[in-house]
Structure 1
Amino acid sequence: MKIQSIMKSKRQGFFISSVLLGSVLVLSGCGTQSPSISSSSAHGSATSPTQQTITAVGAENEYANVISEIGGRYVSVTAIMSNPNTDPHTFEASPQVAAEIANAQLIVQNGLGYDSFMNKLESASPNANRKVIEVQNLLGLPNQTSNPHLWYNPSTMPRVAAAIAADLEQLMPAHKKYFEDNVKKFDASLQPWYNAIKQLKIKYAGSPVAVTEPVADYMLQAAGMDIRTPWSLQAAIMNGTDPAPQDVQTEQNLLKYHQVKVFLYNQQVVDPLTQSLLTLAEQHHVPVVGVYETMPPGYSYASWMLKEVKDLQKALVYHQSTQTLS
């Protein structure tokens, strides 16, 4: 399967026609947004009007959040895709998005076709001094990589954070130690997530689970879960194509006959098929865990990832569903 086709898919019911780019990530501990100001990122008071800041863009708000955590008071960060109620795969860039990208000094984007509109807009406004971190390239992943949801991989964000710090240091050499200290704090913030994954793997490795698409697959694999949903079904739902009837039947049987312990449901891609699967899981009392492609409001990247693991644990231990994050 060619992941580049993701951005071309036609999903039912959801698309983003425009983005209001006056919104930014303000605090490292939250994904809420406000008119564009410099990020304080939990490192003291907000930047004074006279203090120089670096204008940065995260294609997805989880990346914007990490920029905010590393750059702190020296960055003003805009998140382009941040709505947890919409499907990021069908994003359509507006002129406002183009203007924000044109003005950015630092950009972090996912790659693997997930946010390919970024490359087009960057090419339309060339800037030799602009720093662009494409996570696919940072991780050395080929274009054929099947799962683009790289932020669910526990090994991804520490490398992204280090790359952000390196670019910020080039833009503001005087604050090198500040950025490096923030990388250490960010890495430390991920330890509870890592510990939760480790404990889940120790106690529940091999637990069978079903998914609608591969949003959280990297995290599930790290925790030792057995993903029973056929990859071809996951890819079809992800790419907005018609799945094979036998794959749909396989998924339905997983839920009907309790062949899985948890059903992980992408809350940002909802269509008649996924809704029918959700109903089936509820009817047969299979615990449901909602997962997201962009960071829900009220979370930092670290707290969001930790919450997903804890919700999975509650489903496995107590058969408790957590369909939405609030």
Structure 2
Amino acid sequence: MTLVRIAATLGLMVLAGSASAQTPSTIQVIGVENEYADVIRQVGGKAVHVEAILTDPNTDPHTFEASPKLAMAFSQAQLVVENGVGYDSWADKLMAASPNAERQVLNVQKLLNLPDDIENPHLWYDPKTMPVVAMAVADALAKLQPSEAATFHANAEAFVASLKPWMDSIAAFKAKYPDTPVATTEPVADYLLKAMGCKLMTPQTLEKAVMDGTDPAPQDITIQNELFSNHKVKIFVYNQQVTDALTTSFLDAAQKAGVPVVGVYETMPTPGYTYQSWMQAEVEALTKAVADKTSTLSLQK
């Protein structure tokens, strides 16, 4: 499941982002990951038609199959928001094959001034990410439709303000449950866990091996299993989208040891969530895991 390979295992769903009829002035936008598409919709409102590419919370988003239909969508897009860090490099290849001098591209990695060798590409779990994305989207849309600039920037500010309950929940967890020891399968939610003040106990080399689809070192597997059997962690954070025999064995070990499990996702669970409510639900699930040892394996409604 390397971050750059193109494989034929992901069920592709390209979803329209607006139920209203499009007009000639509607801005055509692609949010490669549906969490970014959701933010674009909130900032752009009726002025944008948004397509999300990675939308299925039941499949591995690290693998992807391009299609002629998708290439056409990229060729017509006036704005594209992609994650970067190699996570969706196939999008760059499609755009290179379909040149469009007027197309704007927002690469979240570059917006955050992150280096190419950053180990964790799941940038949307970092509480600092989406405020930057929302403001950059507003600026980009304003260039495409100057008459609506004030609306775009007001929407972006409203979006940032709407994140406050999530930020407050993060701060509350950090204050009440400092240094909570946590095990993971891979670094999907690590940015959020660190913001919440959790202590990440799983070896980083194991996380990376699982993320990259390589075999972890035997000693790392032993360490991980002992986190459960010796009750060294209070939560097991399990990536619901990338599972195999090894991660399933960790899940079994956690459940056998009575360690509550919280499922996390790389693709926003839909329908039923916005970015804000998704992130809030993850924090609430983590809080329940510590407060009353309740597992939340799935957030899908």
TM range, smaller chain: over 0.9
Provide the rounded CA distance (Å) in 2 between the counterparts of 1:259 and 1:68.
Answer: 42
Query: Do the aligned residues in 2 keep the contact of 1:19 with 1:97 (CA within 8 Å)?
Result: no
Render the CA deviation track for 1:96-125: whole Å, top value 9, x for unaligned: 111111110010000000000010001001
Q: CA deviation at 1:9?
A: 8.5
The gaps in structure 1 that reach 5 residues or longer are 27-36, 38-45
Aligned pair in 2 of structure 1 residues 184, 313: CA closer, same or farther (>3 Å)? same
Q: Match for residue 79 of structure 2?
A: 106
Q: Match for residue 9 of structure 2?
A: 15
Counterpart pick for 1:319 among 270, 280, 293:
293
Q: Does 1:196 align with 2:169?
A: yes
Aligned pair in 2 of structure 1 residues 205, 107: CA closer, same or farther (>3 Å)? same
Q: Match for residue 278 of structure 2?
A: 304
Provide the rounded CA distance (Å) in 1 between the counterparts of 2:27 and 2:40.
Answer: 11
TM norm structure 1: 0.89
Query: Do the aligned residues in 2 keep the contact of 1:85 with 1:268 (CA within 8 Å)?
Result: yes
Query: Do the aligned residues in 2 keep the contact of 1:19 with 1:96 (CA within 8 Å)?
Result: no
Q: Which amino acid aligns with 1:319?
A: K
Render the CA deviation track for 1:140-166: whole Å, top value 9, x for unaligned: 111100000000000000000000000
Counterpart pick for 1:121 among 94, 116, 138:
94
SS in 2 for 1:7: coil
SS in 1 for 2:62: helix
Q: Which amino acid aligns with 1:19?
A: L
Aligned pair in 2 of structure 1 residues 50, 207: CA closer, same or farther (>3 Å)? closer
Query: Do the aligned residues in 1 keep the contact of 2:13 with 2:55 (CA within 8 Å)?
Result: no
Q: Match for residue 151 of structure 1?
A: 124
Query: Do the aligned residues in 2 keep the contact of 1:9 with 1:240 (CA within 8 Å)?
Result: no
Q: CA deviation at 1:185?
A: 1.1
Q: Does 1:235 align with 2:227?
A: no
TM norm structure 2: 0.96
Matches within 5 A, 1:1-326: 5-8=2-5, 15-16=9-10, 19-21=12-14, 23-26=15-18, 37=19, 46=20, 48-50=21-23, 52-297=25-270, 298-325=272-299, 326=301
Report sequence identity in percent. 51
Q: CA RMSD in A?
A: 1.5
Query: Do the aligned residues in 2 keep the contact of 1:60 with 1:82 (CA within 8 Å)?
Result: yes
Provide the rounded CA distance (Å) in 2 between the counterparts of 1:140 and 1:92.
Answer: 29
Query: Do the aligned residues in 1 keep the contact of 2:166 with 2:276 (CA within 8 Å)?
Result: yes
Provide the rounded CA distance (Å) in 2 between the counterparts of 1:222 and 1:24.
Answer: 33
Aligned pair in 2 of structure 1 residues 49, 239: CA closer, same or farther (>3 Å)? closer
How many residue pairs get aligned? The number is: 299
Aligned pair in 2 of structure 1 residues 9, 102: CA closer, same or farther (>3 Å)? closer
SS in 2 for 1:8: coil
Q: CA deviation at 1:51?
A: 6.0
Provide the rounded CA distance (Å) in 2 between the counterparts of 1:50 and 1:314.
Answer: 46
Q: Which amino acid aligns with 2:259?
A: V
Q: Which amino acid aligns with 1:317?
A: A
Deviation beyond 6 Å, 4+ runs, structure 1 = none
